[in-house]
Structure 1
Amino acid sequence: MPSPKRKYSGTERELIRTLTLACETAKSEIVGFQWLTHEVDYECFPQSLRVTWMFDSEAHKAHALAGSDKARMLALTLAAFDEVGISVSSIAEHVAFAVEQPARGRRGQGH
């Protein structure tokens, strides 16, 4: 029996592709949005799947979550999941928002 990681390798590749498209779209639309990442335990898929949207500051994150940007990020995440065929009961349970922490001893963003 194949390992869960091997079983879902195609899903993982497609998810990365669709989330990359969501990320690029959001960068042009949402002030302060920097990047997103996802984590998943394929032993408990799709319940464990979580996408984290990263911002450059608490102020930008708060502004985005207080307005229509939050709904946009949820919609982009849901569209990415749908394109891959991942079905979840509540997209909000699979999305988190955070602020990028600068690396220690480094000046500026360097990106």
Structure 2
Amino acid sequence: MKKTDKKIEKQIIQTLTEVCDRLLEQYPGFAWLTHTVNFNAFPTSLKVVCIFENDAQLTDLVLNKEDVYIQNLIIHQLQQQGIKLQTKQIVFDSETRCEAQHNGNWAKRLK
């Protein structure tokens, strides 16, 4: 990883940590978030995954259009760091889906 990539990665982590803390306070059932990125294809390769505890919480989130708020929050916060992201690069998932489909192995699921 190049020095500039490390700097960008640090910015992403710091920004997403702040977003995560905010979401933990605002949304019951929100568990955590993570990201994947290939710096050879940055920023289009950046993907942010927001994980909730179960599908019911995720369904409620979408029905109440809170997913749009979360997407806009992430996009805005990263944009302040000069990182452009599109809504299609932010996805929502749940612990129960990962458990059912990948036996709880997030590393495998995120590949």
TM over 0.5: yes
1:12 aligned residue: 9
**Aligned match of 1:23 in 20, 23, 31?**
20
Q: Do residues 37 (structure 1) and 53 (structure 2) align?
A: no
Q: Do residues 62 (structure 1) and 88 (structure 2) align?
A: no
- Alignment TM-score, normalising by the size of structure 2: 0.80
1:97 aligned residue: 92
**SS of alignment partner, residue 65 of structure 1:** helix
Structure 1: tracts of 5 or more residues without a match: 105-111
| Alpha carbons 2:38, 2:45 under 8 Å: kept | yes
Please state how far the C-alpha of 1:72 moved relative to its aligned partner: 1.6
**Aligned match of 2:81 in 57, 81, 84?**
84
What's the CA shift string for 1:22-73, capped at 9, x where partnerless? Answer: 1111111112111000000001000110000000000001111121311221
- Alignment TM-score, normalising by the size of structure 1: 0.80
The structure with more radius of gyration: 1
| Alpha carbons 1:57, 1:99 under 8 Å: kept | yes
Letter in 2 for 1:87: K
**SS of alignment partner, residue 84 of structure 1:** coil
For this pair of structures, how many residues does the alignment match?
A: 99
| Alpha carbons 1:30, 1:69 under 8 Å: kept | no
**SS of alignment partner, residue 35 of structure 2:** strand
**SS of alignment partner, residue 59 of structure 2:** helix
Kindly report structure 1 stretches of 4+ aligned residues shifted beyond 6 Å: none
Higher helix share: 2
What is the Cα-based RMSD across aligned positions, in Å? 1.7
Q: Do residues 47 (structure 1) and 44 (structure 2) align?
A: yes
Letter in 1 for 2:88: E
